[in-house]
Amino acid sequence: MVAMAPALYSLIRKMEIIRKVDELRHRVAGAKAEGKSVGLVPTMGALHAGHISLVDRARKENDMVVVSVFVNPTQFNNAEDLATYPRTEEADCAKLEAAGADVAFIPSSIQNLIHASLTSERWRPLWRGPCAPAISMASHRL
């Protein structure tokens, strides 16, 4: 793997948006079949510099970077908090593409149980810090 600046990487390759779990699994399986490493950064969207630092780290350490953007209802005690949580998909995708993510996985809420099973597989944490408690798994290698 050749390290490349995220801004340059995003000029060379357009980020793909995947909404279905089976499509993501197919894409990841294809990368792995080619011997590529795949890094996952799970988020609940409303991305900030801490999230982008995880994407940067995953980009440096992996051939392919997947970022999930999923507002998980199980993370909220209060229905009002869930209803008012910011959904900033367009802005999040722009930030992820600029940071060099290959795939933004943005599942529908109908797929939340499937998404939960996807993120409960074996991942190796890359980083722990202020965001770790909020997103439960900071960054992982697929």
Annotated catalytic sites, by residue? 51
Q: Rounded to whole angstroms, how far apart are CA atoms 20 and 7?
A: 27
Q: Which residues contact 80 (CB under 8 A, 6 or more apart)?
A: none
Q: Rounded to whole angstroms, how far apart are CA atoms 3 and 130?
A: 26
Q: Rounded to whole angstroms, how far apart are CA atoms 140 and 142?
A: 6
Give the burial class of 127: count Cβ atoms within 10 A of its Cβ; 0-12 exposed, 13-18 middle, 19 or more buried.
middle
